[in-house]
Structure 1
Amino acid sequence: MTDARAHFDEAERALIVSGAWRADAADALPRLGGKTVRILDGAGVTQLDTNGAWLLLAAARPQASDPMPELRAFQPQHLAMFKLVAQHCATTAAQPAPRREGVLELIGRSTVEVWAHVTGLLGFVGHLFFELAALIGRPGHWRWREFGAQVNSVFVGAIPIVVGMLFLLGVVFAYLLGDQAQQYGASIFVVDGLLLAILREVSPIIVAVLVAGRTGAAITAQIGTMKVTEEIDAITTLGLSPLAVLVIPRILALLIAMPLLVFIGDIAGIAGGMLVVEGQLDISKSIFMDRMVEVLDLKTLLVGLGKAPVFAIFIALIACRMGLSVTRDARSVGANTTSTVVQSLVAIIILNAIFAVMFVELGI
């Protein structure tokens, strides 16, 4: 329990305090009811810390614009404490209140940020192009071991989740299409719809999203951590290019792995749909295969597979650039990793929309 005491002298407009003034002395302050305090008398103060000084100043001048009271009979060390607290309060009060952004300002700032990302990515592609051109004539400088390790991580490690996800999506699509087709006696056309959806749209998009969330984020985190721990500086000091050592093997690994993962996803999605139509629509596996051979065009398969390398290049470029853009702190690693996933997903959606319009115009 504190021994701090205080009372207000109406005649002098003075707040007279005594005892030890610390954080637990707040209850000792009298209710001033908006009365002006002109004098702070501390003749009886035995102890004073920054909390106590702040309590007394806040009671004497509730508003930052109120005049500073006269400090009477305080010990020199207590006066120094009041000076320190008063300076801090003045600095805090001088800070402008956060301003709310208007809609136009928010749109403008967001546009500038997007443009900075686009120009930064284009600059990164330019540097990468020159590095790749220099490596073409020197096959001995290719990082084949790193490339093999990345293929194993990107491709082999992603097969189980791709198979599981596309198999379940094939089940869902076949079930929903079959439920509607049964009402019109068009059960056999479920095979057509399933093949078109899985091969052209579902498999490439889902595989790209999974790779962006799994591999793209991992690439950014790996390269970003290497930058924080100054491993990239060590690579540069050895006379090696970080683009040749870290970036190009990852881009090539994704470029090879994505079409293979999409093809595996196609098979898994078709298998899931075949399982459902056999049980729900009484379409046997042999009938399903005959119908698939009859209606499946090579271009339908190639359209989905052709999207994969484009998605892979954009995911790899975004992930590697964001990894190299990490500053030397852990928060930047997390922020850039999140940004990689977001940018990759936006790029996948935009590219897929472009492909859809382009294929319609070309009649593919």
Structure 2
Amino acid sequence: MAPPAGAADTLPPETPWLTLTSDERGRVLRLSGAWRLAHLVPIEGALAGVAGVPAVVDGSALTELDSAAGLVLLRALGEAEPGFIGFAPAHARILAALRARRIEPLPAPERRSNPLSRLGRRGVDVGALLLGHLQFFGRLMAAFGELLRAPRRLRMRELVVQIEQSGLDAVPVVMLVSALIGVVFTYLLGLQAEKYGANIFVVDGVGIGATRELVPIIVAVIVAGRSGAAFAAQLGAMRLAEEIDAIRTLGLSPDQVLVVPRVLALMLVLPLLVFAGDAAALAGSLAIARPMLDLGPTAFLTRLREALELRHVLIGLGKAPVFALAIALIGTRMGMTVGRDTRAVGLATTSTVVQAIVAVIVLDAIAAVLLQGLDW
């Protein structure tokens, strides 16, 4: 049963900011007092005590109204459109401006989740990332299958350019870093070997450790930071400029034009870079062997030939194409799927380097376990 016309709903006496009445127009919300920012907390409390949406809002008793209080009023009304009457011209203009802007309330701050839920979300994100890489790997294998059926589809010019950029241009830095690794590794082993008069066995450790493990990982990390990042940045910029869409419009496959030459080039040049790194690491070790270990070149090379079996070198070289496939796959996939803004290109490039380095280390660990099981 509706209350009689003019009857006021009971409100706490400590909230003088509004009165809710009913008449022939329906429920009328009468505002009073100075609705300003300084009184926002009690005003919000008074509005929270009003049940239902009024049909009319009467502002004839308002003495002041600023935008903050007006915004609180409009948010309390929600999507409803009651009639606004009795407002002074200045107050009406404020409400009209706020209603025209349609200012939405700020989202509530996200509740901090516990470590277990955060770990679960990270796990889901990593799983989605790995699934995306697996799907892209399937596309890449399909593209290689098409290339085997029609070798003329291979873009030789693009392949040669990528071989030069990923391989030849990387030789100086690879050889420099590998030579320094050989020097440092020899120095560290020599410090311990000298205590027991076992200087000659440093050659064994440097030869096997560098060719089988150290140099392939170091070279792959260099290539990941150099070529992997370049792939992501180049393809990301092309996607941003809609060049990839233009390739599709011409009826060509972006995988054949852009992805296959980069992956194939990196798989071809990385074993060569690892071989150059092996030579540089052994040369660096040889250079410091005489002053550090009192081993001349003849004694060093003779011991190296006795200790370093060919299988260790081949294992290191065999890892290179696998590392190259992982680096190129991650780099091209991140570039082909990057968001269409410059910030996303930067994030994709950084993510490519991190993912590629992690992938190289994981693959090397898997290879070490498998080879140990095979007694290789």
Fold shared per TM-score above 0.5: yes
1:292 equivalenced with 2:271 (yes/no): no
1:168 alignment partner in structure 2: 180
Query: 1:42-53 maps to which residues of 2 (within 5 A)?
Result: none
How many residues are matched?
315
1:133 alignment partner in structure 2: 145
In structure 2, do the counterparts of structure 1 residues 352 and 64 end up closer, same or farther at CA, with 3 Å as the change threshold? Answer: farther
1:194 alignment partner in structure 2: 206
Supply the distance in 2 between the matched residues of 1:108 and 1:73 (Cα, whole angstroms): 51
- Runs of 4 or more off by more than 6 Å in structure 1? 86-90
Supply the distance in 2 between the matched residues of 1:139 and 1:197 (Cα, whole angstroms): 39
2:76 alignment partner in structure 1: none
Secondary structure of the residue aligned to 2:135 is: helix
Deviation at 1:80, TM superposition (A): 2.6
In structure 2, do the counterparts of structure 1 residues 101 and 289 end up closer, same or farther at CA, with 3 Å as the change threshold? Answer: same
1:5 alignment partner in structure 2: none
Query: 1:267-306 maps to which residues of 2 (within 5 A)?
Result: 267-306=279-318
Deviation at 1:64, TM superposition (A): 7.5
Secondary structure of the residue aligned to 2:278 is: helix
1:39 alignment partner in structure 2: 33
1:96 maps to a residue whose letter is A
Unaligned runs of 5+ in 1: 1-12, 15-36, 41-55
Supply the distance in 2 between the matched residues of 1:80 and 1:98 (Cα, whole angstroms): 35
Paired residues of 2:232 and 2:352 also in contact (CA < 8 A): yes
Paired residues of 1:199 and 1:304 also in contact (CA < 8 A): yes
Supply the distance in 2 between the matched residues of 1:145 and 1:64 (Cα, whole angstroms): 72
- Compare 105-114 and 347-356 and name the one that shifted more: 105-114
Supply the distance in 2 between the matched residues of 1:232 and 1:63 (Cα, whole angstroms): 58
Paired residues of 1:322 and 1:340 also in contact (CA < 8 A): yes
Paired residues of 1:274 and 1:288 also in contact (CA < 8 A): yes
Percentage identity across paired residues of the two chains = 45
1:32 alignment partner in structure 2: none
2:274 maps to a residue whose letter is V
2:38 alignment partner in structure 1: 59
Supply the distance in 1 between the matched residues of 2:43 and 2:205 (Cα, whole angstroms): 71
2:10 alignment partner in structure 1: none
Paired residues of 2:33 and 2:64 also in contact (CA < 8 A): no
Secondary structure of the residue aligned to 1:349 is: helix
1:324 alignment partner in structure 2: 336
In structure 2, do the counterparts of structure 1 residues 355 and 316 end up closer, same or farther at CA, with 3 Å as the change threshold? Answer: same
Supply the distance in 2 between the matched residues of 1:317 and 1:330 (Cα, whole angstroms): 21
Deviation at 1:63, TM superposition (A): 6.6
Secondary structure of the residue aligned to 1:65 is: helix
Supply the distance in 2 between the matched residues of 1:292 and 1:331 (Cα, whole angstroms): 50
Supply the distance in 2 between the matched residues of 1:193 and 1:263 (Cα, whole angstroms): 18
Supply the distance in 1 between the matched residues of 2:102 and 2:197 (Cα, whole angstroms): 79
2:234 alignment partner in structure 1: 222
- Compare 328-337 and 133-142 and name the one that shifted more: 133-142
Deviation at 1:139, TM superposition (A): 2.2
Normalized against structure 1, the TM-score is what?
Answer: 0.81
1:80 alignment partner in structure 2: 93
In structure 2, do the counterparts of structure 1 residues 326 and 64 end up closer, same or farther at CA, with 3 Å as the change threshold? Answer: farther
1:243-271 Cα offsets, whole Å, 9 max, x none, are: 00000000110001110111111111111
1:148 alignment partner in structure 2: 160
2:120 alignment partner in structure 1: 108
1:1-33 Cα offsets, whole Å, 9 max, x none, are: xxxxxxxxxxxx99xxxxxxxxxxxxxxxxxxx
1:72 maps to a residue whose letter is T
Supply the distance in 2 between the matched residues of 1:314 and 1:263 (Cα, whole angstroms): 19
- Compare 329-338 and 63-72 and name the one that shifted more: 63-72
Secondary structure of the residue aligned to 1:214 is: helix
Paired residues of 1:220 and 1:323 also in contact (CA < 8 A): yes
Supply the distance in 2 between the matched residues of 1:63 and 1:213 (Cα, whole angstroms): 58
Paired residues of 1:221 and 1:333 also in contact (CA < 8 A): yes
Deviation at 1:135, TM superposition (A): 1.9
1:47-69 Cα offsets, whole Å, 9 max, x none, are: xxxxxxxxx83212247734479
Deviation at 1:88, TM superposition (A): 8.3
2:93 maps to a residue whose letter is A
Supply the distance in 2 between the matched residues of 1:259 and 1:73 (Cα, whole angstroms): 79
In structure 2, do the counterparts of structure 1 residues 301 and 159 end up closer, same or farther at CA, with 3 Å as the change threshold? Answer: same
Deviation at 1:137, TM superposition (A): 2.4
Deviation at 1:73, TM superposition (A): 6.5
1:111 maps to a residue whose letter is G
Supply the distance in 2 between the matched residues of 1:57 and 1:200 (Cα, whole angstroms): 75
Normalized against structure 2, the TM-score is what?
Answer: 0.78
Supply the distance in 1 between the matched residues of 2:131 and 2:121 (Cα, whole angstroms): 15
2:39 maps to a residue whose letter is A
1:121 equivalenced with 2:121 (yes/no): no
1:49 alignment partner in structure 2: none
Paired residues of 1:61 and 1:67 also in contact (CA < 8 A): no
1:177 alignment partner in structure 2: 189
The Cα RMSD (Å) is 2.5
2:33 maps to a residue whose letter is I
1:255 maps to a residue whose letter is M
1:182-234 Cα offsets, whole Å, 9 max, x none, are: 11000011111111111111100001111111110110110011011010011
In structure 2, do the counterparts of structure 1 residues 348 and 63 end up closer, same or farther at CA, with 3 Å as the change threshold? Answer: farther
Secondary structure of the residue aligned to 2:62 is: strand
- Compare 168-177 and 123-132 and name the one that shifted more: 123-132
Supply the distance in 2 between the matched residues of 1:127 and 1:205 (Cα, whole angstroms): 27
Match of 1:71 among 57, 62, 74: 62
